[in-house]
């Protein structure tokens, strides 16, 4: 009689819990693929974890929906959806080569019912059951043409029609936000709108949303508000991660300091009252204007659930300070924590160890790299123009007290540059 390893003696319920625990690793997909190839007993467990924790390349999204149709019982288990792409951003290439790269993207045939229509989920399932993934149906159109009309609603309508319990939606990688169909989608009407009823029926359930820092490269001119990203439609949204340019109208408009602050920030009207944590990447000195608006809103009883603001700056602390001083803005290190403590919210600041971060070369968001402990390698490989040889982080609690009390002492030159930080606002020195 063959010996059965102790692991395989466990019931399936416990094996699923062990496998789901492994999804917290940064190499989840590789681990699950290896698990699926181990033996017949573990194969369905690894496959289920892969299906219920999807990280989908945007041009293979139809294949994932085909898998969902074959595994309908797993749809309610999917709570996190991540869209990504491994392709390089086309705008880094010459215009002709970039256009050629885009035109060579694989054409994915998509049923006409991907449009906003009633009975989307049922009709989609019928289409996939008829082999829509592998053969052209009588009523089809090019997937890229569908996305050109309104990219994000087109994608999300399909997926949200399948995933009734989706709680988190994340966009990572580069190409999804660089392809030419993003601009017309945003210029025509708000990307997320109650008018798009099928989308709206699902957005009210999302609690976490994340967009990459390079999403701002193809955004329209914000001198003409309102901001097309109407996050206030997300009535359950708690955590939002976005680039700084989704918050501002004009980077540094002219006028008096009061007029500049008024013109610069779009305002909190794009956010729902349920928001608890906001992460902003590629931040700049304009962030102080957002804090000022948040203070005014909190004093009027709004955004009572907001608890934490995280700012990941694009430039080093010294460069950010110089830019702030040039435009008469607040010092981010010595003044932001005063504002945050006055409205009882936590504040986290992160400054790169180089002059400026090249965000296009990062495959994931800065906070994702930091959470995974991979920010330092990314910094060494992709951050350019060495100036300050350390990365600085600071975190203050809601009372304004610095919470990183076990940090090493800064060298004298760094203390002088930072304005002789006290124990209350002393920075973290990271290698």
pLDDT tens profile 261-277: 444 555 677 788 999 99
Beta-carbon contacts of residue 22 (< 8 Å; ≥ 6 apart) = 28, 31, 32, 35, 49
Distance of alpha carbon 411 from alpha carbon 234, whole angstroms: 46
Q: Kindly report, residue by residue over 14-34, the tens digit of the pLDDT.
A: 776 766 666 655 566 677 777
Label residue 360 by pLDDT band (50, 70, 90): low
pTM of the model: 0.73
Nearest to residue 80, comparing CAs of 49, 58, 52, 45? 52
pLDDT at position 243, please?
A: 82
Q: Which two structure tokens, joined as six digits, stand for 373?
A: 């402990």
Catalogue the long-range contacts made by 102-108 (C-beta closer than 8 Å, 24 or more residues apart): 102/179, 102/180, 105/59, 105/144, 105/179, 106/59, 107/142, 107/143, 107/144, 108/59, 108/61, 108/62, 108/142, 108/143, 108/144
Distance of alpha carbon 118 from alpha carbon 164, whole angstroms: 16
Least confident range from 122-126, 188-192, 341-345, 387-391: namely: 188-192
Q: Which two structure tokens, joined as six digits, stand for 413?
A: 């030159």
The rounded mean pLDDT for the chain is: 66
Q: Kindly report, residue by residue over 67-103, the tens digit of the pLDDT.
A: 777 788 888 888 888 877 655 544 454 545 544 544 4
Distance of alpha carbon 320 from alpha carbon 313, whole angstroms: 8
Give the sign of the dihedral formed by CA 115, CA 116, CA 117, CA 120: positive
Asked if residues 241 and 276 have their Cβ atoms less than 8 Å apart, the reply is no
Q: Bigger pLDDT: 267 or 41?
A: 41
Give the sign of the dihedral formed by CA 354, CA 356, CA 362, CA 368: positive
pLDDT at position 154, please?
A: 55
Rank 2-6, 223-227, 232-236 by mean pLDDT and report only the highest.
Answer: 232-236
Distance of alpha carbon 69 from alpha carbon 79, whole angstroms: 17
Distance of alpha carbon 400 from alpha carbon 406, whole angstroms: 17
Least confident range from 31-35, 114-118, 372-376: namely: 114-118
Q: Which two structure tokens, joined as six digits, stand for 281?
A: 């990447």
- What is the rounded average pLDDT of the residues 39-52? 78
Q: Which two structure tokens, joined as six digits, stand for 219?
A: 């955004």
Residue 204 has pLDDT above 70, yes or no: yes
Asked if residues 186 and 245 have their Cβ atoms less than 8 Å apart, the reply is no
């Amino acid at each position: 009689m063959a010996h059965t390893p102790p692991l395989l003696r466990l019931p399936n319920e416990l094996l699923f819990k062990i496998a789901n625990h492994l999804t917290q690793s940064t190499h989840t997909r590789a681990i699950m693929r290896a698990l699926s190839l181990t033996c017949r007993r573990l194969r369905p467990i690894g496959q289920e974890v892969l299906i219920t924790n999807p990280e989908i390349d945007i041009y293979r999204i139809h294949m994932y929906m085909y898998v969902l149709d074959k595994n309908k019982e797993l749809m309610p288990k999917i709570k996190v959806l991540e869209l990504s792409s491994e392709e390089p951003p086309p705008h880094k290439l010459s215009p002709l080569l970039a256009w050629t790269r885009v035109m060579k993207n694989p054409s994915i045939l998509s049923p006409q019912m991907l449009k906003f229509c009633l009975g989307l989920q049922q009709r989609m399932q019928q289409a996939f059951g008829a082999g829509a993934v592998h053969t052209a149906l009588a009523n089809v159109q090019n997937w890229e043409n569908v996305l050109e009309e309104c990219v994000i609603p087109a994608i999300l309508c399909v997926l949200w029609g399948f995933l009734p319990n989706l709680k988190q939606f994340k966009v990572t990688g580069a190409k999804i936000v660089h392809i030419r169909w993003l601009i017309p989608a945003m210029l025509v009407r708000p990307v997320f709108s109650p008018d798009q009823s099928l989308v709206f029926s699902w957005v009210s359930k999302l609690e976490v949303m994340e967009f990459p820092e390079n999403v701002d490269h193809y955004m329209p001119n914000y001198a003409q508000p309102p901001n097309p990203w109407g996050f206030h439609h997300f009535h359950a949204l708690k955590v939002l991660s976005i680039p700084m340019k989704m918050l501002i109208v004009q980077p540094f408009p002219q006028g008096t300091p009061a007029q500049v602050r008024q013109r610069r920030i779009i305002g909190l009207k794009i956010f729902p009252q349920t928001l608890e944590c906001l992460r902003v990447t590629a931040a700049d000195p304009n962030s102080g204007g957002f804090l000022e608006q948040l203070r005014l809103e909190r004093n009027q009883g709004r955004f009572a659930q907001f608890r934490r603001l995280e700012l990941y700056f694009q430039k080093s602390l010294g460069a950010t300070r110089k830019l702030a001083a040039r435009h008469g803005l607040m010092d981010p290190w010595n003044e932001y924590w005063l504002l945050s403590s006055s409205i009882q919210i936590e504040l986290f600041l992160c400054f790169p160890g180089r002059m400026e971060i090249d965000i296009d070369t990062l495959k994931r968001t800065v906070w994702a790299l930091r959470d995974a402990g991979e920010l330092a390698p990314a910094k060494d490989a992709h951050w350019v123009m060495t100036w300050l040889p350390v990365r600085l982080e600071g975190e203050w609690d809601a009372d304004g007290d610095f919470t990183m009390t076990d940090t090493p002492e800064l060298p004298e030159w760094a203390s002088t540059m930072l304005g002789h930080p006290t124990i209350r606002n002393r920075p973290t020195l990271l290698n």
